[in-house]
Structure 1
Amino acid sequence: MTNEQRAEALIKKSGFDFDTISKADIVKLLQDEIDNYQEGSSEYIRLLCGYLFCLGDSSDIPLIKKAKYGINMDVGCMIDYEWLSSLENGGAEDEYTPSRNELIRDFIDYYKDFKA
């Protein structure tokens, strides 16, 4: 299964109701992906990081940074720095970062019709 296909399957399974998505499951999937990165598109790992961002727990910052900075430059470019900045500043809008709500809307808009 390609990374795009894995992303599409996860979206179909999890959707975008962040109150019902298991953080523990996403953390495990992301840690597994970091440990055993599947070459190709970075879409799947980006989606996992996006889910963690949308779940909004700042304790996940180190794991998202590990994914962004610890695999390769292509992956690093795919994972939005704004997600980290927003988690670090409590979701407030600033000069360089939109509000957390706006970032979540953008994430959903990007992935809601995602097809591999």
Structure 2
Amino acid sequence: MSDPPPLPNGPGGAAILAAGIGSLALGLFAFSGDALPVLGHTLTVWPPTGPLSGVVLATIVVWLAAWLMLARRWSGRDVNLVPINLAAVTMLIAGLLLTFPPFMDLLQGR
């Protein structure tokens, strides 16, 4: 009996990188919504939560679009996960920093 063929890691790499892209998008939308009042007003989908509602909605759209695009592109392929993981972790850290109020205030000069 032969072994089944190995599964390609492309779809997993797509999910990892899309998570990093989504994290960075969350940080960028949160920072932009806080720094630019016009954008903050535009991002307000549900008034009780303020811009946060639009920030989360836009982030989910970016994350899903990135995941769909990468999964279709890397479907059935093997990819090198080392640079993908490094990029995802870097974007995750940047996204977290951009949602940390003292860091946001530092970047805005407050």
**Higher Cα Rg: structure 1 or 2?**
2
Q: Which has the higher contact order (CA 8 A, sep 6+)?
A: 2
User: TM-score, length-normalised on structure 1?
Assistant: 0.28
Q: Which has the higher helix share?
A: 2
Question: Under a length normalisation based on structure 2, what TM-score does the superposition of the two structures give?
Answer: 0.29
